[in-house]
Structure formats: C-alpha cells, structure tokens
Structure 1
Amino acid sequence: MENIMKNINQRKEMIISICALAWPSIVEQALQTTVQYVSSAMVGRLGAQASAAVGLTTTVNWLINSPSFAMGIGVLSYISLCIGAKKFEKAKIAAIQSIIITFILGIIMGIATLSITPFLPKWLGASSEIQRDASLYFGIICFPMLFRVATIVFGAVLRSTGDMKTPMKVNLIMNITNIILNFLLIYGTETIDIGNFKLTIYGAGLGVAGSATAAAISYSISGCLMFFALYRNKLVSPKGKKIKLNIPIMKRCISVGFPITIERVVTCLGQVVFSSLVTRLGTLAFAAHSIALTAEQAFYIPGYGMQASASTLAGNALGERNEKKLHQMSVTILGIAVVVMTITGTILFIFPNVMMSIFTKNPVVVKSGSSALRIVAVSEPIFGALIILEGIFNGVGDTKTPVFVSILSMWGVRIVSTFICISKFKLGLNAVWICMVADNIFRFTILFIRFLRGTWKRKLSL
C-alpha cells in the first residue's frame, strides 16, 4: 500500500512539473496563433486573392525556419542534458555556440531568401493575379532574417534551462506589436461612427505589404529581446566569456540538429510541392486550404506547448541517468496530450464553420474549408501523440530514425497520394486533407512502435 501511495505521489509531482513547464509554452503558442488569426482575418478583409497571396508562401516560411528550429533543438538537447548532469559550465559554452549559429545562419538564410523572392510565386505555380503581392510579402518578412533566427534559437536555449516564461513574455510583446502595426499599416484612413460621434482612424493603406511590414518589425523586436534575455539567464549567460568556437560541443549540437535540419528542409520542400499541387484546384480552393491550415493551428496549441516540456524533461532525466523517470515522464505527458487534444479535436469537429468565418465571408471558401477541418479534427489525438513523441526523441538527442520516418511519410504518403488524387482522379480539397491525415497516422504508428521497443533510451555521454 505504501508503494502504491508513493507511486501516486510521484505521478502527481510529475504532472505538476509537466504542467508548470507546459503552460507558458501553451500560452506562447496561443499568442502566436492569435496573432496569425488576427493577421489572416485582417488580410482576409482585402479579399480571397490577398489571402491566397499571403498563404502561398506559408510552407516556404516553414522551410526557411527549419534550420533555425533544428539547431535550436540541437542546443536544447545538449544544454538540458548538461543541466540534468549539473555540468553548468558546459551549458554556458553551448549557449555561446548558439550565438555563433544564430549569426552565421541568419546571414546565410537572409541572403538566400531575398535572392529567390522575385521568382518564388511563379515557381509555386501561383496565378498571375497574386504573384506580385506574394513576392512582396515574402521579401519583406525575410528581410530581418537574423532576428527571426535569434528568436527561435535563443528561445530554445532559454527553454532548455526550464525558463518557459521569458519566451512567452517576449512573444506577448511581439504579438501585441504585430497586431497594432497590422491595424495601422494594412488599411487606409477610415471614419467610424460611434453613436453621435465620428472617430477617424488613420492608416497607411499598404494592404498585403502592410501586414508583412508589421511582421518584420515584430520579428526584429523579439530577436533583440531574446538576446538580452539570454544574457540575463544565470544558467547559460555568456556574460564575461569570449564568444568563440568550441568544436566538440558545436559538433555535438550539430550532430543532433543536422538530421532535423535535413528532415525539415526535405519535408518542407514536400510542403512546397504539396502546396503547388493544391494550387491546381484554383484560387478559391487554395484560399480555403490556406485559411483552414491557419484555423487548425489553434487546436494543436496544447500539443506543441507540451512538446517543449517533453524535450526539456526528457533531456534532464537522461542527464540524471534516471531511465525510470524518463519512462514515467514520457508516458504521463503522452496521456495528457491525447486527452487534451481529443477535447480540442471534438470542438473543431463541431464548430468548423465558426472558425472559417473568422477569416473570410466568402461562402464557397467557408464551406470548402469547414469540410476539410472536420476531416482533420478526427485525427487530432493521434497528431497530439505524434508531437509529443517527436519532442521526447529530440530531447534525448535521438533524431535519426524519426527524421527518416518523417521524410518517407511526407514524400511516400502525402505527396504521392495527393498527386494521384488531384492529377489522376481529379478529386477536390477533401481528398487532399485525407492525404494529410494519412501522413500523420503513418508517422505516429512507426514512432509509437519505436517508443514501445525502448531502443531510444540510450545512454549519451557529455
């Protein structure tokens, strides 16, 4: 009886620890989704063409963010291991490597993205009516690339120390800035009647370019704030130390992050190909697809919020050499994610029309997007478990097999099946979203089998 009560208390403590780490990340994800909702809704007021122009490069933005996220995971994995093993000096050296990574990656990605800006919409198969706006939007948001990389990588460093609140606060500032600037830059000067009073609101009237400018300024602010937060964090602050390369630690961070970089680049290229296939369905269908993707984001916020916690706690447990704790934490957070995302999936299934109507009033787009959302809502619990499994494997530095599975699934399941549905059978948007669900189910199945086998619980030395 005593052992049972002890196990119950340990599980309660673990749930409290998970929730304490997860809630700031969940709030952060919610803030990011909120600002994307607001931006999309504001752009949606300009018409379906404007929504399509902004949505066209969404998957390309995932692609260019991929190396930053991957290197962030590499640094997070190493630092969380160091902190679990109480090797704090190595954690600080790893933080210095993150500064070097940010600078090099930011410069390279900035030059590369601005170079392809004039040609990208045409490469993606966009109609001529949206090419100019799509190109302009992409170029503006890629201009502050160094700050975008800093936001992602330094945020990962802070989370590796268990500091989830600071990235949340920085994102709050970034999102409020973005919303205010969106309001001022997208629309022209308007007069609003409030009872007997008339209120004149001045705006720049830049349309799609205004939305991009707001995002660019917000990225710049968040990148600077993350950098200052890194210097103030006692566990990883490089204050008083030289910013110099440490080859063994850099290699270790890259060895974890590089496979993820390859995976994200290849799968995001798959997303680009996937989007180009969807554009064949026409502007309205693509607008419905883009808006539905945005609407869905709110419903996997809990999963991605808990993913950062899963990575940090898994790394800490491995650093402590506590395999029992690692297993209990993994099972617990998987269970929580499935329960929570079952609830969010149910809400999405019941109210897809409401979600679509936030972003557009076009009845064709609303109807088409709502049908797609109902399809994906059924798979939300599985997607939640998949997100957590990826977080656990990333946290312990076991990335190679998940990377291979992700690439295989994207190109072998999603791309091939979508091409067949659109090109051979002339099916519509619903078939495309079924292909997306099939991709997620395939990845979950393979990773869950690997999780059950336990081969990922290997001992990594520092």
Structure 2
Amino acid sequence: MLDLIKKRINFTRNINDPITKDVVNIAWPVLLESLLGSLFSMVDMIMLGRISNNFVAAASVAAVGITNQPLFIGLAIVQALNIGGTAMVARYIGRKEEGKVETTVKHIVLINLSFLVVPLFILAQIYAVDIMRFMGAEPETINIGIWYFRIIMFGFLFQGVNNSLFAVLRGAGDTKTPMKINIKVNALNVVGNALLIYGFFGLPALGVTGAAISTCFSQIVATFMIGNLFLRGKTGIRIDFKKKFKYDKEIVKNFIRIGVPSSIEMLILRVGIMLFTKTVATLGTVIYAAHQICLNILSLSFTTGQSFSIAAASLTGRTLGEGDPSRAEAYVSKARQIGSILATLIGVVFFLFAPQVLGLYTKDQVIIKSGAEALKIVAIMQPFQSSAFIIVGSLRGAGDTTFPMLSTGIGILGIRVILAYTFINIFNMGLMGAWIAVFLDQVFRWAMVYWRFKTGKWKHIKIK
C-alpha cells in the first residue's frame, strides 16, 4: 500500500498545471465541507454514545441509525434529482447560456418541494412508529427515538431547499458558498447538541431528542442564509420573484431525463441499505450500535470521493458544453488520481488504528471488538469506493445517469443485501459477514462504472 502511495504521489510535481488547478479549486471546498461535516456528525454520535446510562446510550445510537435510514432515503432522492440541475447549469454555463440558469433554479426548487419533500414529510409524520418498527427497531429504541425521527423530518423540509440551491451553485463551479454555510450551521448544530443532549447551563437534558432539535434548527438557519444570498444576487445567480414564473418544457424534460434515473438509483440504494440495515439489526442492539458507528466512520471516508466527484461533474458538464470532451476526460483522470491517493491514506489510518478510532465513540469492549473488524474491511475498500464515486460524478455531469442506476441496483440488491442475509443468517458470520458483503458490492460497482466510462459514450449525450 505504501508503494502505491509513492507511485501516485508524483502528481504533486504537476500541481501547477491548469487541469490540476481547476480540479483542486472546485474540490477542496467540498472536501473541507464534507470532512468537517462528517467530523461534526462523529462528534454528535460520540456525544450520544457517552450518555452516562450505557443502556440509554446504546439505544440512542441505535435509534439515530435506524431513523436516519428513512431520512437518508428522502435526502438521497432529492440530491439525486438535483443532479439534473447540476448537469444543466454546468452545460448552460459552458455554452454561455446564463439566461437559462435562473429559470432552472426555480424549476428545481418547485419540483423538489411539490413532488418529494412535502409528501415525504407528511408520510413520515403519520407513519413514524410503523417505519421504525419495519426497520427492526426494538421497543426501547422506538420509545427513545420516535421524537428524534419526527423532528428531523421537519428539518427535512428546509434541508430539501438547501440541497437544491447548493446543487445549482456547484454546477456553476461555486463550491465555496455551500462550504461556508454548511461549516457554520454544522458548528451551530454541535454546540446545540452539547447544550440539549446533556442539559448544560440550566437547559433540560433531552438526550437524543435534543440532538434532533439542534439539527432541525441548524437546517432552518441554513435556509435563511442561502436564500438571502440568492435573493441579493451575492452568489452570481440572482432569483427575482418579481418576474413571472414561466414553465419551460425543455428544462423540465432535461431535468426529468437526467434527474429521474439518478433519483431511482438513490431510491434503490437507500431501500437496499434499509434492507441491509434491517438484516444487521437482527444481531441485537449492541452489535447494531457497533455497525452504526462503523457507518458513521465510513461517512468520513466518503469525503474524498464525493468532493472530487462534484468537481468531476461540474468540469465534465462545462467542458462538454464548450465542445471539448478530451479535456473533460483529462479532468476526470486527474480527479481520480488525487482522490485515490487521499482515499488510500484514509484506509491506512482505519486499518492500523481501528480500535482507537472506535474507542472515541464508546468504552464498550464488545462494540469496539466487533467494529474494529468491520473497520478494517472499510479500509481495504477505500480506493475502489473513491474511484467509483468520481467516475459516477463525471457520468452524471455528462447527463449519463441510467447506467449508474443499473450498476447500483445490481450491486446493492443483487450483491449486498442477498450476501449480507446469507453470511449472517446461514453462515453465522455476524457483523463481519455484513461488511464483507459491502466490500463485494463496492468492487462490483466500481468495475461496472469504470467499464462504462472507458466506452466514451458519455461524451455524446446532448442537453437542450
């Protein structure tokens, strides 16, 4: 693994070339934003895991893990649909058609709110207990987590708007504005969690419910911040509500053609993860808590792949709009190179210091032992995961979203869910079996999207 790092480290010699500069300029704010966001999320989980009552602490961690899965389904669908907006904005800017951008923003926000965000919020409020029970939550987990679920789904209303506006900015190559806002509100959320989970300064100690209140409030603040910037034109994209809204058939067609396959992909992914989570939950609250902590740590490793994926999407869309597919391919190659180096370094840390990383979350030795074994598998799959993220980002930026949907569907349902069930229930491999299934899924999807990228078909997709 060290030899791999040495071979790839030579990219630093060419750090001043234009391709590297463009990739890094877009990726680093997303990387910093994602890294700090994941660290803040880790701090949140650590706070819950260190509640003085061990039983309440384990149930709280499990409750967050179980209730976050339905939330993540909603967020994933919204974010995936927004991929259409990112691709369109990038392509319009590349073609010097900035006049279409404001109309695209309005369409994205209205479609997301009307057809996804509000309906999912209503369903979650009505069927909260049933959803948690379906997810495999034990009675104590439901009792502790029910209000957490209901409150964070209220915050989902604002989060949906935020994600739509951030996607537009990233399509335009502006990743610094989302970074600044998300860092501020995540820091606010951590402070709010500390106050409301433990009841500092005379405030009530609300435990996991306090964490939900803090998260919801931070999302509301973020909406006011980003909305104010758009209304004042401070982002370079001004939204003028005095202008009469005009339905644009071509924008909606593009949005549906690009965004809907990605939304279906994310729906499949999240349903698959939900079924996977339900299978792991049968191992019991303590083992599931170890699993949830590993998922939380895994989200930290997503940061490199996701940041360079966004850079690849934005730059691919823009250069295809400029009519330069060879430059788009060069951008993707550079993004994969840098992303793989960073992912490998993260993998080394996870592999060598797994027990120490788990020890930040809990003192329970059963959780640490089970989680450390799983975390070593996470370490090994880092290069595959990062490369797949970045390739998929480039395909989405080009408007090629159907093939990633197919590869995800086969990988998550045909490999991860089935193998996890088999390894846990037939071969009695416990948590280790579940994470082996995750590894095999990741490698399969990487191979599929890499093959698609090498065919070059993404270079010829048209956006009107």
Native 8 Å contact 1:92 1:235 kept in 2: no
1:230 corresponds to: 230
Native 8 Å contact 1:158 1:230 kept in 2: no
Deviation of 1:235 (Å): 4.4
- The alpha-carbon distance between structure 1 residues 85 and 276, as it changes in their structure 2 partners (threshold 3 A), is same
- The aligned runs of 1:30-429 (5 Å cut-off) are 30-46=35-51, 47-104=57-114, 105-189=116-200, 201-231=201-231, 232-233=233-234, 235-239=236-240, 240-429=242-431
Deviation of 1:440 (Å): 0.4
Native 8 Å contact 2:254 2:463 kept in 1: no
Alpha-carbon distance between aligned partners in 2 of 1:381 and 1:277, rounded to the nearest angstrom: 26
Alpha-carbon distance between aligned partners in 1 of 2:142 and 2:109, rounded to the nearest angstrom: 36
Deviation of 1:405 (Å): 0.9
SS of alignment partner, residue 359 of structure 1:
coil
Q: Residue 23 in 1 paired to residue 24 in 2?
A: no
Alpha-carbon distance between aligned partners in 1 of 2:19 and 2:177, rounded to the nearest angstrom: 22
- Spell out, residue by residue over 1:285-338, the C-alpha distance to the aligned partner (whole angstroms, 9 max, x if none): 100000011112222311111111111001001101101111111111111111
- The alpha-carbon distance between structure 1 residues 158 and 352, as it changes in their structure 2 partners (threshold 3 A), is same
Deviation of 1:233 (Å): 4.5
Deviation of 1:11 (Å): 8.0
Farther off after superposition, 226-235 or 333-342: 226-235
- Spell out, residue by residue over 1:323-382, the C-alpha distance to the aligned partner (whole angstroms, 9 max, x if none): 111111111111111111111111111111121111111111011111100111011011
- Spell out, residue by residue over 1:153-209, the C-alpha distance to the aligned partner (whole angstroms, 9 max, x if none): 1110111111111101110121111011101111135xxxxxxxxxxx333200110
- The alpha-carbon distance between structure 1 residues 388 and 147, as it changes in their structure 2 partners (threshold 3 A), is same
Deviation of 1:263 (Å): 1.1
Alpha-carbon distance between aligned partners in 1 of 2:341 and 2:36, rounded to the nearest angstrom: 22
Whichever residue aligns with residue 220 of structure 1, its letter is: I
Q: Residue 445 in 1 paired to residue 451 in 2?
A: no
Deviation of 1:234 (Å): 5.8
Whichever residue aligns with residue 416 of structure 1, its letter is: I
1:197 corresponds to: none
Native 8 Å contact 1:183 1:203 kept in 2: no
SS of alignment partner, residue 174 of structure 2:
coil
Of 14, 18, 27 in structure 1, the residue corresponding to residue 19 of structure 2 is 14
Deviation of 1:99 (Å): 2.6
Farther off after superposition, 236-245 or 116-125: 236-245
Alpha-carbon distance between aligned partners in 1 of 2:453 and 2:250, rounded to the nearest angstrom: 29
Question: What TM-score, normalized to structure 1?
Answer: 0.93
Alpha-carbon distance between aligned partners in 2 of 1:300 and 1:260, rounded to the nearest angstrom: 18
Whichever residue aligns with residue 284 of structure 1, its letter is: V
- Spell out, residue by residue over 1:114-134, the C-alpha distance to the aligned partner (whole angstroms, 9 max, x if none): 122121221112111211222
Count of aligned pairs: 444
Farther off after superposition, 347-356 or 308-317: 347-356
Deviation of 1:149 (Å): 0.2
Question: What TM-score, normalized to structure 2?
Answer: 0.92
Native 8 Å contact 2:377 2:436 kept in 1: yes
Which 4+ runs in 1 deviate beyond 4 A?
A: 8-11
Alpha-carbon distance between aligned partners in 2 of 1:382 and 1:144, rounded to the nearest angstrom: 33
Farther off after superposition, 268-277 or 447-456: 447-456
Farther off after superposition, 266-275 or 107-116: 107-116
Farther off after superposition, 229-238 or 142-151: 229-238
Deviation of 1:238 (Å): 2.2
1:195 corresponds to: none
SS of alignment partner, residue 281 of structure 1:
coil
- Spell out, residue by residue over 1:84-142, the C-alpha distance to the aligned partner (whole angstroms, 9 max, x if none): 11011112221121231243133222212212212122111211121122222111100
Deviation of 1:241 (Å): 2.7
Alpha-carbon distance between aligned partners in 1 of 2:84 and 2:282, rounded to the nearest angstrom: 37
- Percent identity over the alignment is 29
Whichever residue aligns with residue 367 of structure 1, its letter is: K
Alpha-carbon distance between aligned partners in 2 of 1:116 and 1:244, rounded to the nearest angstrom: 36
Deviation of 1:31 (Å): 2.1
Deviation of 1:258 (Å): 0.5
Whichever residue aligns with residue 132 of structure 2, its letter is: P
- The alpha-carbon distance between structure 1 residues 424 and 391, as it changes in their structure 2 partners (threshold 3 A), is same
Alpha-carbon distance between aligned partners in 1 of 2:377 and 2:21, rounded to the nearest angstrom: 33
Native 8 Å contact 1:288 1:369 kept in 2: yes
1:5 corresponds to: none
Native 8 Å contact 1:137 1:208 kept in 2: yes
Whichever residue aligns with residue 252 of structure 2, its letter is: M
- The alpha-carbon distance between structure 1 residues 148 and 413, as it changes in their structure 2 partners (threshold 3 A), is same
Alpha-carbon distance between aligned partners in 2 of 1:49 and 1:285, rounded to the nearest angstrom: 11
SS of alignment partner, residue 57 of structure 1:
helix
Deviation of 1:52 (Å): 1.0
Farther off after superposition, 103-112 or 214-223: 103-112
- Spell out, residue by residue over 1:45-85, the C-alpha distance to the aligned partner (whole angstroms, 9 max, x if none): 12212111111123222211122101211101001000011
Alpha-carbon distance between aligned partners in 1 of 2:213 and 2:377, rounded to the nearest angstrom: 34
Whichever residue aligns with residue 186 of structure 1, its letter is: I
Deviation of 1:216 (Å): 0.7
